[in-house]
């Protein structure tokens, strides 16, 4: 595994979450993809935005798995919620990228 900054946070517990509050016009979630990785729901400003499936045949580190753009910079909150996918529950956060 080649994590951004040398480490990442991961869970295999359904309902576990990571939340980022930021000021910007773009945000991206970086995560590892692979055969043991499951799904996560993404919420932006408290509203469901997408379900991301991190499953892949081989491991892929530092992948941009979700991205959102706004025309103008503002304060936003991104929340990643692990779904505990049966047989492949792992969801991780390698990092977030914010453009102001």
Do the domain assignments include residue 1?
no
Residue pair 80/10 in contact (Cβ under 8 Å)? The answer is no
Beta strands in 1-100 (DSSP E): 9-11, 17-33, 39-44, 47-53, 60-82, 91-93, 95-99
- 100: exposed, middle or buried (Cβ count in 10 Å: 0-12, 13-18, 19+): exposed
pLDDT in tens, 20-50: 999 999 999 999 999 999 999 999 999 999 9
The pTM of the full predicted model, rounded to 2 decimals, is 0.93
User: 74: domain range?
Assistant: 12-99
Segment 4-16 shows an average pLDDT of 88
Do the domain assignments include residue 6?
no
If one counts the domains in the chain, the total is 1
């Amino acid at each position: 595994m080649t994590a951004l900054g040398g480490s990442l946070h991961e869970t295999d517990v359904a309902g576990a979450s990571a939340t980022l509050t930021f000021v910007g016009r773009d945000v991206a979630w970086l995560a590892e993809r692979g055969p043991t990785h499951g799904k996560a729901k993404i919420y932006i400003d408290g509203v469901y935005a997408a379900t991301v499936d991190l499953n892949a045949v081989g491991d892929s580190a530092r992948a941009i798995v979700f991205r959102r753009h706004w025309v103008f910079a503002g304060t936003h909150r991104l929340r990643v919620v692990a779904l505990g996918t049966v047989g492949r529950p792992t969801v991780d956060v390698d990092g977030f990228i914010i453009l102001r």
